[in-house]
Amino acid sequence: MKKYYEPGDVEIIKISLAKWTQGHPARLIDIRAQVIDLNIYEDIMEPSMILEVTLIDSINLVQDYPIIGEEVIAVSFVTPGREMPFVKVFNVFSVSGGVSSPNSKSSIYTIKAVTPFHYFSTGVNIRKSYNTTIDVIVTDIINDITKENILATPQLQIEKTKGLINLAAPKNSPLATIDLLRQKAVSIQHCSGGVFLFFENQYGIHFKSLEKLLTDGKQSVESKVFTYGPGTSTDKERSAFAFRNIINYTRLSNFDAVSKAAQGTVSNNVRSFDLLTKDSEVTVFKLSEKMGSFVTPDAKNSVTVSSTFIDKFKDKGQFKFVPKDSSKGNDYIDNTLGSKSAYLALLNESAVRIYIYGDSYLAAGDVIELNFPETSGTTERKFNDRMLSGNYIITKLRHIVTMEEGAKNKHHISMDCSKVGYK
């Protein structure tokens, strides 16, 4: 007999806690029976994923095991109908709560954990010098951390960069160093230079430009299409839409002309000064000349800046200063900084937060399609709101899995999504 699944159904495969003994997990125990809910956070602006697990403990696990913040939690779940489950290992870093039930027979507490690369980067300083491209440096830093820690070996997805960087034994943490390199990185593929991101999702660690994420993502939107209030008229249609229904949404940002003008989105100048030759050079960014080369989530998007606004503020942008040293090679930072800042400002103009039924395949960095009907007081067929609908990139994602005794496990997702321009 074929099983019937409802939107939000989820199969919990594993929630296991393990001790560490000489770098390897031991004393594995299944804690699914104690878990009330779990939340998994992904963010393309953050270097790692965070796990929060709430437990109701009637066996005094936290003291008898004991849980002291040096454990590993393995989590695996899958949406019915999906072939591959969400699988991730986290390192515990804190235990909080411990609120007793009224009869004092159990207590509720929350375990917080982070992905292994972040965990094993703590307390480590880089003591190497480099003179090569940023993608090579980032790969080497990650490999140095992961080669001694078997659970911290994720899939790496690193975009090629151009320009030589001289990094002389900074003695900073790996995360701080990679974040500095991210800000300096210039894409070898995109003429705008690329707004680089360093983040981890269920598919691995990414050091990529926002432009590459959008370019690759919009080629594979496929079934990742979500609709708010489809206005279905039959049970069959309603059932089909339910699994991709936007339960509710909030618009996080709107157009801000004052900020665009002040931040140099329309026009900005970057002055570089060569510390060796004492030469100075100015790179001028004009949105009117560059907007056609900006990568947008949809095939064709209009940038949310009119020609009148561009003409009004074309000579009133920000001034930026960049020191450089020609003896260490060209890093191309001064040629791309103005374009990067303008592109990021345009992306942050159009953002929504949506709440949907769970899908174990979705991850931060994915490109999805969102459809919102136009606002109308009539009963006539409504078309999509062209300002709000379209392809978006998921910037933040939160898996919310709840478990109740005698009831089905449920999975929902809260996502922050952004796009450049409108259809």
Q: Give the pLDDT confidence of 66-99 residue by residue, as tens digits.
A: 777 788 899 999 999 888 999 999 999 988 876 6
Q: How confident is the model at residue 234 (pLDDT cuts 50, 70, 90)?
A: very low
Task: Yes or no: say if 370 and 417 are a contact pair by the CB < 8 Å rule.
Answer: yes
Fold of 121-209: Phage tail protein beta-alpha-beta fold (3.55.50)
pLDDT value, residue 307: 64
Whether the pLDDT of residue 379 is over 60: the answer is no
Give the pLDDT confidence score for residue 114 in this predicted structure: 94
Q: Give the pLDDT band of residue 258 (cuts 50, 70, 90).
A: low
What pLDDT is recorded for position 1? Answer: 42
For the entire predicted model, the pTM comes to 0.86
Mean pLDDT of 184-201: 87
Please give the average per-residue pLDDT across 46-63, as a whole number: 86
Q: pLDDT grade, residue 393 (50/70/90)?
A: very high
Tell me what pLDDT residue 404 has: 77
Please state which CATH class domain 11-118 belongs to.
mainly beta
Q: Which of 183-187, 233-237, 293-297, 348-352 has the highest mean pLDDT?
A: 183-187
Q: What band does 290 get if pLDDT is binned at 50, 70 and 90? A: confident
Tell me what pLDDT residue 337 has.
77
Residues of the chain with pLDDT > 90, as a percent, come to 36
Q: What is the mean pLDDT of the chain?
A: 82
Report residue 103's pLDDT band, with 50, 70 and 90 as the boundaries.
low
- The pLDDT of residue 281: 82
Q: Residues 170-179: what's their mean pLDDT?
A: 89
pLDDT above 70: residue 182: yes
* pLDDT confidence band for 419 (50 / 70 / 90): confident
